[in-house]
Structure 1
Amino acid sequence: MSQPPPPSGGGQWGWEGSGPSQGHWPTPQTPPTQPPPPQQPPQQGQPQPAQPQFQYAGGQQYPHGGRPHPSGDQPPNRRRPRLIALVAVLVRVLGVGIGWGMTNLLSQDDTTAVAAPSEAPSAPASASAAPAPSQSAGAEDGGPGSAPAEELPDDPSEALTQISETDEEEVVAELDGKWVPQISSKKAGMEIDGKTWTDEDILADHQALRDEHPRVRLVWSGNFGSFKEGDFWITIAGIGYSDAEQALSWCATNGLGPDDCYAKQLNTGGGHEGTTKLQ
């Protein structure tokens, strides 16, 4: 039987440790190593060769032989814009919160200021009409319980004199010749229902009436020609009317009967005739 021809290209067959007839490829010959040519420095004006790009897992390229950042695929400088954006959002949220708080505070301050009622001056009483029943006591002199601005002396007689001197300035200026409701007329030593009145009793009676009714004033009868007797302390409602009927209407409106209230015309001169009218 004939032997098969050797593979194309020639060469000897052989196995390790046997002769050429054992079927091994011959050992290739290694060409001699030549040193790399020396690199020449680049000449001025000549373009630099591009640096190689290195590719890693995921197909991303890193220039200049760079390596991926240990914390991720992005370098650290790419995370800085996100941090800046987060800080900006926090600053804006704080600004909105502070602005909202200041707005509410100012709104409350404004609401409180607007809600406070202004003190409008009371309108003077009409000379031709009786006061309405709903007129509150003290509407013109500070209300019930109001007392003269100055401090009163401890002596009742001196206190009565001080109150009357203060009140008579207003009465003469505004009520001379007008009809007024007279609600008390007393002097020390007089007896009423078995009681002898003193200046202390008269002062207490006047202050009680002053607390209860509007614009109550005290005058000394000796300073007005319209009183028959000149030694009485007279308590009036200091609201002037052009006729007696309007003054009597005030008495009825305030629940004062014929024994407690009647119309009196105040005149600094003249006589007392025709200056009194009862209910």
Structure 2
Amino acid sequence: MGVASTAGAFGLRLFRIPIAPVERVAALPMASATVVRRSQAAARSSRLLPWRLPAPEPSAASPTRASASAAKLSAVALLCLVRSAPSLICPPSLSGPKKPQRDLRVCKKLLRVAQMSSADVSRAQTWADDLIRWEATGWGDAGNAMRRVATRARVPFSKLWALKYRPPKEIASHVLSRLEAVHAAERERQLRKLADEASLTATVAGPDHAAVRAAEALLRAADGAPVEPGPDVAAAPVGPAARRPRRTAAPELTDLPLFGAMEPRP
């Protein structure tokens, strides 16, 4: 009977019915059947409780039925308590939503594409210019040559285009290494081709020909041997290059109607 009264107190307190605190209800002796009936009448009149409290028998002849009713009532009150106040069961740190955490992932791929300095950007730009110049067959073949070089070096076309026309501030290490490998292989191929052409020219024109001596001097310079400038090997210009004289147009071209269209107006 005391358990039933305590459970009823829990249920009435959840629905804001003024009752005594739980500690006091637990400390009270066993309530009589009259108190239980009065609480049932108050619950029916207020129409706040969705269930009916079981009416225990006043006689002590059936203690099993009273204990079963008290167990059912305590289970219902506990269920209402859990649904209405989940924070009493779980702490707020566990019941609240978890915030997304940023994790630092380090793997071989991210380490392989580490960024390099601006000096390496200049080196990559020089190698890209050399590869495009060697691959191009004419003035209008620069775009096609750039695509062929990108396919051979397994480098994105946008990277080569940026190195050619808009140098970036930094470049990935795998792009730099691939350009370096392709540039070294193409340089060796060009040197072998020059050696074959020099041998063929020496067979036809003689070893004393100016083109043969210039090719041999270039091959020695590629191997790292010192080269002395001679009549066939011009020294590198130190000062600014001399301006080339402006070529005059042929007199038969000056009579054309569109010849003066490119001249600036006074």
TM-score tier after normalising by the smaller chain length: under 0.3
When Rg is computed on C-alpha atoms for both structures, the one with the higher figure is 1
Higher-RCO chain (CA-CA 8 Å, sequence separation at least 6): 1
TM-score (norm 1): 0.25
TM-score (norm 2): 0.26
Higher helix share: 2
Higher strand share: 1
